[in-house]
Amino acid sequence: MGKIHLTPSFTPGIYEQGDGKDLGHIVDFKSEVQLSLNLFENSQLGMSYNHISNASLGEKNPGANIYMFNFLQKF
């Protein structure tokens, strides 16, 4: 067991609804924070949370919240 990493990120993007959820605007933003732990020299286990939103650019702003568990194995 080793080092703990806290990784924030922010990403703008373009969203096309298709058959998916109507997020209220074509321009959306994703904010994310990930907490991960080095298990061994070449692997990490982590959990992340991210929120996708149009930042009130559209008439509605339902957003979406995503929680993930991550496992990373370097080869």
pLDDT at 1 over 80: no
- What single-letter amino acid sits at 11? T
Cα 55 from Cα 21, distance rounded (Å): 16
Longest dimension (CA), the chain: 48
Length of the chain, in residues: 75
- Domains and their CATH numbers in the chain: 4-73 (2.20.200)
Which pLDDT does position 49 carry in this prediction? 98
Q: With a threshold of 0.85, does the pTM exceed it?
A: no
Q: Tell me if 62 sits within 8 A of 56, measured CB to CB.
A: no
pLDDT at 75 over 80: yes
- Counting residues of the chain whose pLDDT is more than 70, the rounded percentage is 99
Which pLDDT does position 20 carry in this prediction? 80
Q: pLDDT by residue (tens digit) across 43-67?
A: 999 999 999 999 999 889 988 899 9
